[in-house]
Structure 1
Amino acid sequence: MTTIKDERDEREAKAEQIAAQMPEDRGGILCEAMAAIDAIDAAVLACDDGAAEAAALRYEAAIWKLNGKTYFGCMAGPDAGGVIARKVCSAPDGTAPKWGQAGEFVATVQGTRALVSVSEGFGVRSTHFEFRAVDLDRPFISQTGYRSCFATPTGGATVKQAAEAMLAEHMSNGMCMVGDDYRVRRVEDERPWLAELATQPVEAFADATGQLGFSF
């Protein structure tokens, strides 16, 4: 019977084997991590599950080596291997990330804008999507102005396309205005780069009660 310890030992052994082919310096290891993300993204877009799995193992091995050749505490703080790799390999602010990469951007579906934060879910094989309302005076997919989703990479689709599809699906299930109490919290979600985006044009919409409203 396989135990958790056996699985942990097997994972460490696999990381050691892959990491043995990597440079010893931090910069070189981070280059390996970024190359692994590129490979994950290419494999997902090509619907190649085997290549995606191999690239994910390569990324995890880079984290293992950055973290002092152990997975223990690899996400425990700013100096942990996983945290360093995620920060260095993140997409630029406002740019949709690749699969396996962290980042934030704005998705727009039928005039509804959402700040999308993308990060690892349960390892790089799972993706955590967080949707936050950008225009607090317009209907959104949640009264709180926030929605969290976990998903596996979508073969043949970019992260941006996957996020837009999720947003569209939630919109089809119903929209509502962000509650007054939550608007204050959502203001705290503002990012400096968001101010550079063009504001939404004035347009009419029907709120949850069917009343006609205007967005400025």
Structure 2
Amino acid sequence: MFVLETKHGRALVDFTCPLDTCSSFGFTAIDLGVPFISTTGYRSHFYAEWPPLSVMEAAAAVFCEYAEAGEMVNIKIEYRQGRNNSLPDFAKPSCTAFQGIPTQTDDKGQIGFQF
């Protein structure tokens, strides 16, 4: 488990490699008030072939691919509190003041509130 920081945001990554079946990444949103790759604040990714990258590089590539393939979306309010309570201490949001307020980021990085 580790914190992944990309230009698309931060995520807690849970990596599983059972060796006899497909491996997986679990991406959990850390900063719940900004757009993420899933409306629930969690997304899993399974694969059978290991890319020639480190675990962190592969996680970043997968996360960024999801972010760039579709629109980043706001996490639904009903999932935010549960996600916030389930984060380990080392992955707590840097600012908790806006965790319940949806935001929208445009392609220039401008952030605005959505109601």
**Closer/same/farther in 2, CA of residues 149 and 155 from structure 1, 3 Å limit:** closer
Amino acid at match of 1:156: P
Structure 2 unaligned residues grouped into runs of 5+: 96-102
Aligned counterparts of 2:16 and 2:66: Cα–Cα separation in 1: 20
User: 1:212 deviation in Å?
Assistant: 4.2
User: 1:153 deviation in Å?
Assistant: 4.6
Aligned counterparts of 2:85 and 2:91: Cα–Cα separation in 1: 12
2:105 is equivalent to residue 206 of structure 1: yes
Match of 2:74 in 1: 177
Match of residue 124, structure 1, among 9, 13, 19 = 19
User: 1:188 deviation in Å?
Assistant: 2.4
Aligned counterparts of 1:127 and 1:152: Cα–Cα separation in 2: 6
**Closer/same/farther in 2, CA of residues 179 and 155 from structure 1, 3 Å limit:** closer
Aligned counterparts of 1:160 and 1:193: Cα–Cα separation in 2: 17
Bigger fraction of residues in helix = 1
User: 1:189 deviation in Å?
Assistant: 2.0
User: 1:213 deviation in Å?
Assistant: 1.7
The count of corresponding residues between Structure 1 and Structure 2 is 101
Amino acid at match of 2:19: V
Over the aligned positions, Cα root-mean-square deviation in angstroms equals 2.5
Matched residue SS, 2:86: coil
Structure 1 unaligned residues grouped into runs of 5+: 1-103
With a CA cutoff of 8 Å and minimum separation of 6, indicate the structure with the bigger relative contact order.
2
Match of residue 157, structure 1, among 49, 53, 65 = 53
Matched residue SS, 1:124: coil
Q: Deviations over 1:40-61 (max 9, x none)?
A: xxxxxxxxxxxxxxxxxxxxxx
Q: TM-score, normalised by structure 1?
A: 0.42
User: 1:175 deviation in Å?
Assistant: 0.4
Q: TM-score, normalised by structure 2?
A: 0.75
2:7 is equivalent to residue 110 of structure 1: yes
Matches within 5 A, 1:1-216: 104-120=1-17, 123-125=18-20, 126-172=22-68, 173-195=70-92, 199=94, 206=105, 212-213=111-112
Percent of aligned positions that are identical: 34
Aligned counterparts of 2:45 and 2:105: Cα–Cα separation in 1: 26
